[in-house]
Amino acid sequence: MVVGIYFVLMAGCSGASVVPKELEEHVNRDISFSQLRENPLPYKGQILVVGGEVLFAKRLKHATQIEVLQLPLNRHMQPVESLQKSKGRFLALQENFLDPATLPVGTRVTVVGEVSGMVTLPLDETTYDFPTLVIKRLTVWPPPIRTARVLQPYPYMYSYWGSAYYGPYWWW
């Protein structure tokens, strides 16, 4: 039974569910985000897997636009924790209704999307060229679990009265 639970959990952690089976053979894994960021137009129509952290989501007339800070993906196709590893931003467009309230700022996502071009929009006091993708599959990741330091007893290396002393607690 434990083995069965292990395999179910491992299947849930695998990247297979991020990319739908019908799109798996169409995904181009040779294009890096840096290449896409520099010039997205040659890759128009290509299906890519990119991920990151939601910066902003808004409802447009016929779609929902999600601004994402790109982050590298780990082997499970989940965005990494470090924001300093970002190579830029991109826009993901969901053509079906998607409530922006379901994607608050800081939500980690993985997008399987078709490159649709580039949009230049204002960013602070300048403009920014956003590569754009039309979402084929959007995976929303739960927030990372932050573990607290655990209070653990430990034996002292010296003994009192002839036996090991399991004294006060220490932070591990």
pTM: 0.75
Q: What does the DSSP assignment read for 38-96?
A: H--GGGTT-EEEEEEEEEEEEE-SSSEEEEEEEE-B-TTS-B-S-GGG---EEEEEESS
Model pLDDT for residues 36-47, shown as the tens digit of each residue: 999 999 999 999
Model pLDDT for residues 110-143, shown as the tens digit of each residue: 999 999 999 999 999 999 999 999 999 999 999 8
Q: Measure the CA–CA gap between 106 and 137, rounded to whole angstroms.
A: 19
CB 139 within 8 A of CB 109: yes
Computed on alpha carbons and rounded to an integer, the radius of gyration of the chain in Å comes to 22
Q: Please give the domain boundaries of the chain with CATH numbers for all domains.
A: 15-141 (2.40.50.140)
Element containing residue 117 per DSSP (H, E): strand 108-123
Model pLDDT for residues 102-112, shown as the tens digit of each residue: 999 999 999 99
